[in-house]
């Protein structure tokens, strides 16, 4: 029988029973009265409990955010202050959205089959990934995708996971890097929680390990992944692996792992040609509601050969185009941007307004929402990224950052900086997004 949301949350903070027994006791005695998408309401029986939890409200919000994968706002009420139980509203069943499921599985919501540009350099990988998505565990197992940086390995692998979760929301899916797998194992060993680690990874229906070459040469990590691989496959699950090189070229990889990896389908994804780069640029522009001429897209694709560099260049050009009358990236805009560059070199930091503009453009959030009171996850995360970049890139004081985004005090900025730093350490794909935005904040000479 599936546990209720509140029981599940209390179980996740069971460690408080030892580290802070009073906190655990008061929290456990609170009643969950209302559960909505981004907020919950708790009711306390006594004034003492109410006062105590009010002081802990920010910590409770952080723990709930970590538990649900979304920003959660907590309201705490005193029972005697509530006239009728009906005033609080009915207890609602917690049903995460598809975006929540994707984030919890480590999947970038922007990765799908629909926005993956296909050409001769990646059409085999695209077809194989679609086959795997339709016949999980039986078509090609494992599916091993390899190629250079920015060729779309992670994108197409995550598109499979997205397709699976769209089809079955209860599917056990996880995308993680080789580094995260290693870090989780180290933490499990340190905390004597190895059984929990094994249950998490070995019971998956689909595991995608990005940059598998990272575990080469690490004996204990390779040993654990060997058993994880066997457990998932033997139970009918699917394994997808990505790497910068094929198995036989990965140095210090155990022979038994090399044999397992080579036993499925190996697909080499080549660097994108001119046509594919132009198509990728147009797709990115459409996603971010950026207007760009076809001639301008071709000119950029002809100069920038790195796919991640394409997005950074697009954002930089967009920031410049906002000063134009029709706010459209034209061939003239591109030529003016590149006319001085024999190579891209950082020469000056962006203004606070340009930081806000770049982040909002990347996540398709209006700047008015940034300074508003909306607590929607996409708006809240965008706001936190802006605060993080203003603080770390422009070195603006905490108080000034708070003023720029219309927050009450500097503690909100501190929380945002710590949160984004934590996400960058835990989520490789998220860090790549931040790096793309950071790259766009500099001008060229």
DSSP E strand boundaries for 36-156: 39-44, 73-78, 143-147
* CATH numbers and ranges of domains, the chain: 5-95 (3.30.300.180), 102-269 (3.40.50.300), 274-440 (1.10.1750.10)
* Signed CA dihedral, 52, 57, 62, 67: sign only: positive
Q: What is the pLDDT of residue 232?
A: 95
Please state the rounded mean pLDDT for residues 12-40: 81
Instruction: Say whether pLDDT at 87 is over 70.
Output: no
Q: Which residue has the tokens 């100069």?
A: 303
What is the rounded distance in angstroms from the CA atom of residue 46 to the CA atom of residue 36?
A: 24
pTM for the structure as a whole: 0.60
Supply the DSSP symbol for 329. Answer: B
3-state secondary structure of 231: helix
Among the listed residues 303, 288, 311, the one whose alpha carbon sits nearest the alpha carbon of residue 337: 303
Q: State the pLDDT confidence band at 95, using cuts at 50, 70 and 90.
A: low
Integer Cα distance of 171 and 394 in angstroms: 42
240-252, pLDDT tens digit by residue? 999 999 999 999 9
Q: Bridge-partner residues for 39, per DSSP?
A: 73
pLDDT at 4: 64
What pLDDT does residue 81 have?
61
Cα–Cα dist 101/68, whole Å: 9
Please report the DSSP string for 365-419 in residue order. Answer: --HHHHTS----HHHHHHHHHHHHHHHHTS---HHHHHHHTT-SSHHHHHHHHHH
pLDDT tens sequence across 41-57 = 888 888 888 888 988 88
Percent of the chain with pLDDT over 70: 91
Across 168-177, 281-290, 425-434, least confident range: 425-434
């Amino acid at each position: 029988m599936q546990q209720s949301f509140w029981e599940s949350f209390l179980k996740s903070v069971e460690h408080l029973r030892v580290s802070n027994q009073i906190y655990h006791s008061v929290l456990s005695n609170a009643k969950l009265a209302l559960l909505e998408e981004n907020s919950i309401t708790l009711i306390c029986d006594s004034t003492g409990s109410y006062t105590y939890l009010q002081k802990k409200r920010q910590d409770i919000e952080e723990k709930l955010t970590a538990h649900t994968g979304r920003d959660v706002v907590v309201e705490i009420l005193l029972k005697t202050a509530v006239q009728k139980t009906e005033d609080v509203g009915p207890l609602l069943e917690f049903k995460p959205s598809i975006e929540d499921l994707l984030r919890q599985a480590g999947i970038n919501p922007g990765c799908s089959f629909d926005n993956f540009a296909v050409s001769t350099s990646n059409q085999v990988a695209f077809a194989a990934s679609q086959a795997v998505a339709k016949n999980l565990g039986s078509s090609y197992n494992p599916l091993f995708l390899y190629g250079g940086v920015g060729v779309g390995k992670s994108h197409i692998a995550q598109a499979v996971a997205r397709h699976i979760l769209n089809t079955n929301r209860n599917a056990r899916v996880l995308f993680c890097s080789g580094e995260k797998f290693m870090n989780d194992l180290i933490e499990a060993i340190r905390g004597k929680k190895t059984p929990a680690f094994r249950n998490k990874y070995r019971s998956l229906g689909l595991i995608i390990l990005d940059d598998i070459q990272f575990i080469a040469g690490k004996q204990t990590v390779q040993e654990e992944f060997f058993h994880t691989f066997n457990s998932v496959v033997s139970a009918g699950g699917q394994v997808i692996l990505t790497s910068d090189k094929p198995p036989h070229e990965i140095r210090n990889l155990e022979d038994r792992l090399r044999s397992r990896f080579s036993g499925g389908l190996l697909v080499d994804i080549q660097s994108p040609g001119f046509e594919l780069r132009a198509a990728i640029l147009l797709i990115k522009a459409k996603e971010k509601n950026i207007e760009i001429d076809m001639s301008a897209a071709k000119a950029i694709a002809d100069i920038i050969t790195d796919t991640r560099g394409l997005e950074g260049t697009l954002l930089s050009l967009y920031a410049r185009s906002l000063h134009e009358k029709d706010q459209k990236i034209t061939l003239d805009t591109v030529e003016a941007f590149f006319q001085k560059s024999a190579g891209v070199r950082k020469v000056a930091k962006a203004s606070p307004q340009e930081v806000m503009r770049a982040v909002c453009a990347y996540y398709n959030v209006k700047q008015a929402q940034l300074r508003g009171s909306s607590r929607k996850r996409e708006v809240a995360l965008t706001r936190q990224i802006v605060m993080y970049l203003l603080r770390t890139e422009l070195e603006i004081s905490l108080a000034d950052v708070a003023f720029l985004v219309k927050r009450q005090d500097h503690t909100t900025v501190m929380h945002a900086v710590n949160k984004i730093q934590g996400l960058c350490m835990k989520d490789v794909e998220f860090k790549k997004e931040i790096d793309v935005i950071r790259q766009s904040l500099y001008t060229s000479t």
